[in-house]
Amino acid sequence: MMSVVGAQPFIKPMQPSPSVSPGIQRRHTLPASEVRPLNTQDAISVFEIEREAFISVSGECPLHLDEVRHFLTLCPEYSMGWFEEGRLVAFIIGSLWDQDRLTTEALTLHKPRGSTLHLHVLAVHRTFRQQGKGPILMWRYLQYLRCLPNVRRAVLMCEDFLVPFYRKSGFKVLGRCAITVANLTFTEMFYPISGHAYMRRNSEAIRFPEHPLTLPLTKTDEHVDV
């Protein structure tokens, strides 16, 4: 694939806003920067970013358009998109898996009872690269996974040159991946998920995607380096 925890819960359900004038409402309908779960309406934007990011480097996309729609239909709660003024600039798509290591089936299946999150793809729009958005989104995604009591670890497969990038996010090498795509081989990496007890104790822990959630980005986030 291509390419610290605060005291407050990672993401909270949005509370109903008090009655305000229509003019004020309009100013707040398009946040300057937000993170939210993806849905099937985002699929084309997702695929356009992914295709540009991967085809030029490896000649292969982790997910084709029908597969993007497939996962955003089956398990949108394991996706995350970063939007700037309504425009998708970076995203992650994942699904659940129920084995210790990835197999070819993991590329297309979602196992609802699995405890392993298979991170299929992380990609950033070319205009917004080299701004730290990839690491920031990955950090937020991993913290979100801590809210989910059924997820115990995250796994991914990547080309060797990306191993240092994912190491910086806390992933560790499992070994060579059994999956090959065309002439490409991959390293399999994992990230242990912890902190479930804390998140469960917090009554405002995220319930995703039943509630329309947004996550405004802070100035601190925007100063994180690539």
To which residue do tokens 């795509």 refer?
A: 181
Question: Of 48, 45, 50, which Cα lies nearest the Cα of 63?
Answer: 50
DSSP 50: H
| Dist CA 104 CA 111 (whole Å) | 14
Q: Tell me whether strands 187-192 and 116-124 are parallel, antiparallel or unpaired.
A: unpaired
Work out the angle between the directed axes of helices 43-55 and 65-74 (0-180°, nearest 10): 130
What residues act catalytically? 95, 109, 120, 122, 166
